[in-house]
Structure 1
């Protein structure tokens, strides 16, 4: 029923569809067609303006974080190493989606090679899992720094930071690895039109004319394995952090630390809320307008990479001071 409704919804784009859909049966279509945001085609150029601005800020901001931490010896510490890992994750995550998305909006370049689509699918989901892991790592760093500051340097040694980073990389890479392999094995014999701006896992496998329950169940399992533990740990960490904040002796210290933590929590919510909404809408939100679902699905890939260098970087005094120093040196 879902697939029938999907075909009816994109019926006005039949010139893009595979011919002889009732008889054709092929495992690997040569390409897919990304529609962008169905229903808002006339506004694609206008939608591209904020998307392009967010991408530009993400690229400049995260490269700036990497440059400053590399140049400043005093910033070679656990928190800043986590920020660098986070910056690399954000750069890959945003670059995996935005260039193709903008080519759809600006040049109507909708076609994407089948293998390129699966590669994009892998990188998006892999680095989204890593993004979640980086939130956990930064929550751990803030928890130790605020709740047990005297042991911060002994708990989060350089070797421990490297192991955490490697664990997050392996977790993302290995958990998402079955996605493209499962997607490649399905026969696609109805249509090659993806009603999305990028190759999202369920948006791709729903086009298969086969029983895709293994893909769907694995996606469900992976979501619980990633979001469940990560959100639980982040919630525990920030609960303990808030308790420590309210026990600080002075009001100024409480307000300053609370302001920093609240901004961190805003970025975390900007990632997890759209992510969970997109996940649930794919399975249960059949009455949610398609354009609203797609815009929301883009938010957790675009907004955190833009906000991270601002909230975790520019608002951090050491990075802000070093950036101002570099800018004033260039100005003189």
Structure 2
């Protein structure tokens, strides 16, 4: 089971804070550092000093880390034109020496679009599908050849399809709870399918849908990696769990139901139950980015018990 650190910088984080967390992620042996792609805070937080851009952040981290994978959960298709996104991600992959992964979603948070003057189209899923076709098509075009695309929302003609990523193929992540369109899209494009904040039962059901869609598309179901993202709150004892839960404005009982919360033994046990239904990777949503002792505890007392 891979453990990855997942951050929500729109809730309030500077680049320097994210760099500190990313370096701790690397030093403590975690597999990857991922971040959300949002421009507006959510909930009762001040969000200061304001948002940071996902791909600018990852470009910086690409030069200041050496081992960990870097990526997004999820880049919003509404934020960037697909050709521009393909260039950005390929460049960051080059800057990292081939350590980038792209999580791409339709975009959903209308208020952040309104706040920063970003169009928020009614039909987002069709745009996402075309973006996936274009981004993967540009990367997959042989050097010296051109790429053309004619869709309902985007048109490319005689694109040189450059630059190329450092990796032969950048892993593409698709996720969500949708019962039909999302599994079909994952079957076509996903190297990894991510279930966000889902129970063990809901995750098993959705993984089954993706597996069935992959097989129907003529693709081995096991060609896709299945993963979860869950909020994490670990303490060496009940008192420390309660303190960390209070620091992020959550209740312990709710976190134990809906996330990974409790003592290391409790969290290891719950991770094992996700592994039993086919999850091979957990993104630990880390909400207190200044509590590096939390990451160290997870590394030494949780990650060390997972093979």
The two structures share one fold, judged by TM-score above 0.5 = no
Higher strand share: 2
Larger RCO of the pair (alpha carbons < 8 Å, separation 6+): 1
Could you say which structure has the larger radius of gyration? 1
